[in-house]
Amino acid sequence: MSMQRFVRLSVITALLILTALPAVAQADDVLTVYSGRNESLIGPILAQFTEDSGIAIEVLYGGTSAVANQILTEGENSPADVFIAQDGGALGALAAADMLHKLPSATLERVIDRAFVSPDGFWAGLSGRARVLVYNPESLEALGLELPESILDLTDERWRGQVGWAPTNASFVANVTAMRVLLGEEETAEWLAGMIANSVQAYPKNTPIVQAVIDGEVAVGLVNHYYLFRFLAEDPNISATLHFFPGGDLGSLINVAGTAILNTTDQPFVALELVNYLLSDTAQEYFAQTTYEYPLVATVEPSVALPALADIEAPDIDLSDLDDLQGTLEMIEESGALD
């Protein structure tokens, strides 16, 4: 047996007994975390982990796809211990490339729904993000419009120039990837073309879409649910609200921010300590109260008025299958959405 294989098997064996042996962190432990989540969203809870555990963290921040690609490029030489991703697809891509360790069942069972963990146990969701249509009721009334039943309806002439999207946003890319998985390449490309032909309004990210809806610049916008609550925290009287597409529509995709342990780590006990901390009530309350996302453990509730995750009629899809983000980016670019 080669030394490299011996070391790898030894690390895997260590992970398999994590539920039986207590992990004792040393004061000089340093974890290397690669994060596809923005520092403003995940940084404070990582700092809290260090304060509570005494374990220092070095973080590499970047876009989820870019960070995942860096791990794939580094391969067995990657210094990363833990990966934090903005969506399930990037985690699925690393699992497919055999870059992740399986997590103990006790860790996975903290998550309230098996839809939000890897079917094979390689990653766990940390917080939930529902795709929604943010809309201005006053604008809809003035235009004589009714809320659409499907995201596919937005190519209809009556929505001409009244829809905002962010074609470079990672969550939008994941949403279109889900379309490719469930509808196929041709129908997804046709939807993109139909939206562009219908004068969809492009924005650089979700926040300006919500602002444009509030201002009446567009009537509706495709965003993640929590962006509206950032505005409501400043002004609870703004004229905007959320529409969850019914009937398992692709417009109601629920994605997750999630985490995994890299099989390049030489300190799996400490890495698991971080993963478990991110699924603790402390961290889950942070996600609920600070980022307005859905907590993914049964002991913590959302901090804002939201339908229960179980009540959202989301499409039935394995989030790990949303791994071809690069293919989606190429489709979006070819559609002319970035012109």
Q: How many CA atoms lie within 13 A of 208 on its CB side?
A: 9
* Residue 117 forms part of a structural domain: yes
Q: Residue 266: its pLDDT value, please?
A: 95
- Helix or strand run (H / E) with residue 83: strand 82-85
Give the whole-angstrom CA distance, residue 46 versus residue 65: 21
Q: Residue 75: its pLDDT value, please?
A: 95
Give the whole-angstrom CA distance, residue 14 versus residue 8: 10
Give me the amino acid identity at 303: S
Same domain, 222 and 289: no
Q: Residue 16: its pLDDT value, please?
A: 38
Which residues neighbour 222 within 8 Å (Cβ) at sequence distance 6 or greater?
131, 132, 133, 151, 154, 163, 164, 165, 166, 172, 175, 209, 251
Q: Residue 6: its pLDDT value, please?
A: 34
Q: Residue 1: its pLDDT value, please?
A: 42
Give the whole-angstrom CA distance, residue 224 versus residue 4: 43
Same domain, 81 and 144: no
Asked whether the whole model's pTM tops 0.95, one would answer no
Same domain, 109 and 143: no
* Residue 147 forms part of a structural domain: yes
* Residue 319 forms part of a structural domain: no
Strand-pair partners of 59:
33
Domain count, the chain: 2
Distance of CA 194 to the CA centre of its chain: 26
Same domain, 122 and 151: no
Same domain, 94 and 141: no
Give the whole-angstrom CA distance, residue 310 versus residue 145: 29
Same domain, 8 and 116: yes
Range of the domain at 238: 129-253+324-335
Same domain, 59 and 177: no
Same domain, 12 and 76: yes
Same domain, 143 and 110: no
Same domain, 260 and 280: yes
Give the whole-angstrom CA distance, residue 160 versus residue 175: 21
pLDDT tens, position by position, for the chain (339 residues)? Answer: 433 333 343 333 333 333 333 344 444 579 999 999 999 999 999 999 999 999 999 999 998 889 999 999 999 999 999 999 999 999 999 999 999 999 999 999 999 999 999 999 999 999 999 999 999 999 999 999 999 999 999 999 999 999 999 999 889 999 999 999 999 999 999 999 999 999 999 999 999 999 999 999 999 999 999 999 999 999 999 999 999 999 999 999 999 999 999 999 999 999 999 999 999 999 999 999 999 999 999 999 999 999 999 999 999 999 999 999 889 999 999 999 999
Same domain, 161 and 270: no
* Residue 312 forms part of a structural domain: no
* Residue 192 forms part of a structural domain: yes
Tell me the C-alpha to C-alpha distance, in Å, between residue 226 and each of 133, 134, 303.
12, 10, 11
Same domain, 99 and 248: no
For residue 250, which of 154, 147, 92, 131 has the smallest C-alpha distance?
131
For residue 87, which of 235, 255, 248 has the smallest C-alpha distance?
255
* Residue 205 forms part of a structural domain: yes
Which residues neighbour 207 within 8 Å (Cβ) at sequence distance 6 or greater?
227, 230
* Residue 314 forms part of a structural domain: no
Give the whole-angstrom CA distance, residue 187 versus residue 4: 46
* Residue 317 forms part of a structural domain: no
Q: What is the CATH number of the domain that holds 75?
A: 3.40.190.10
